[in-house]
Amino acid sequence: MNPPLTLAEVAQNPADFATRLWMATGEQIILRPLIPSDVEMLARFLAGLSAESRRLSTFSGYDRATALEMCHAIARFDKLRLAVVALGEGEESIVGLMEFSFDLTGGDILRYAKTDYPLDPATDCRFGPTLADGWQNRGLGSRLLPAIWEIARRFGRSRVILWGGVLADNRRAIRFYEKNGFRHVGRFVNGDGQECCDMILSLDGP
């Protein structure tokens, strides 16, 4: 078996981790690791998120400074960010960000310890998906997941939990996770007083 991938290896050869697909409408999509030169495109993606998308999927900011921070963080800490890039007529745009953290929080570990799914920091990871408003609810998220999980497996991960859980009123995301094999683990109230659901996926099957 190959040793687990590292963030540095992905950053050195991002093209090796790219996947291409086509929407039924003919639009071409590439899923690939975020790269340092993505700052402007990423800033446009963040700035374009609606208030509702920002409520459902929260970032530390929605401006160029946040994009710069994310691009500076490539291969430095615990996060792997995959950009969903749409190819228009000769023009690329980021239309989604799929984020992994290979570091669990103390809060995650404590919450899950009280359930039938105690976490293992060596083989579990956190995941958070965000698509641009115009790309939500078109089946794109579900089509991207197999390639995303393949990358997680190559990092030696066998289970995925939701990053910060999912807001209990985010019915579309909960349906999305359920239909893609996640199980409900429990509920909790986050630091902002919002009711959230913990969900977990085994990458080795049920």
Ligand X SMILES: CC(C)(COP(=O)(O)OP(=O)(O)OC[C@H]1O[C@@H](n2cnc3c(N)ncnc32)[C@H](O)[C@@H]1OP(=O)(O)O)[C@@H](O)C(=O)NCCC(=O)NCCS
Footprint of ligand X on this chain (CB under 6 A)? 53, 56-57, 128-131, 136-142, 162, 166, 170-173, 175-176, 179
In the complex, least distance from residue 13 CB atom to ligand X, rounded to whole angstroms: 26
Identify which of residues 35 and 56 has a Cβ nearer to ligand X in the complex: 56
Q: Please enumerate in sequence order all residues whose Cβ is within 8 A of that of 52, keeping only pairs 6 or more positions apart, or say none.
A: 133
Check: CB of residue 63 under 8 Å from CB of residue 47. Answer: yes
Q: Are strands 195-202 and 19-22 parallel, antiparallel or unpaired?
A: unpaired
Give the three-state DSSP class for 89: coil
Identify which of residues 5 and 185 has a Cβ nearer to ligand X in the complex: 185
Residue listed under structure tokens 């998220």: 141
In the complex, least distance from residue 165 CB atom to ligand X, rounded to whole angstroms: 7
Give residue number: closest CB to ligand X. 141
Identify which of residues 5 and 29 has a Cβ nearer to ligand X in the complex: 29
Give the three-state DSSP class for 192: coil
Enumerate the β-bridge partners of residue 82. 33, 98
In the complex, least distance from residue 167 CB atom to ligand X, rounded to whole angstroms: 7
CA dist., res. 105 & res. 102, Å (int): 10
CA 175 to chain centre: 16
Identify which of residues 5 and 128 has a Cβ nearer to ligand X in the complex: 128
In the complex, least distance from residue 51 CB atom to ligand X, rounded to whole angstroms: 12
In the complex, least distance from residue 144 CB atom to ligand X, rounded to whole angstroms: 8
In the complex, least distance from residue 130 CB atom to ligand X, rounded to whole angstroms: 5
Identify which of residues 74 and 166 has a Cβ nearer to ligand X in the complex: 166
CB burial of residue 25 (10 Å; 0-12, 13-18, 19+): exposed
Identify which of residues 5 and 95 has a Cβ nearer to ligand X in the complex: 95
Question: What is the phi/psi pair of residue 156, to 5°?
Answer: 80, 20
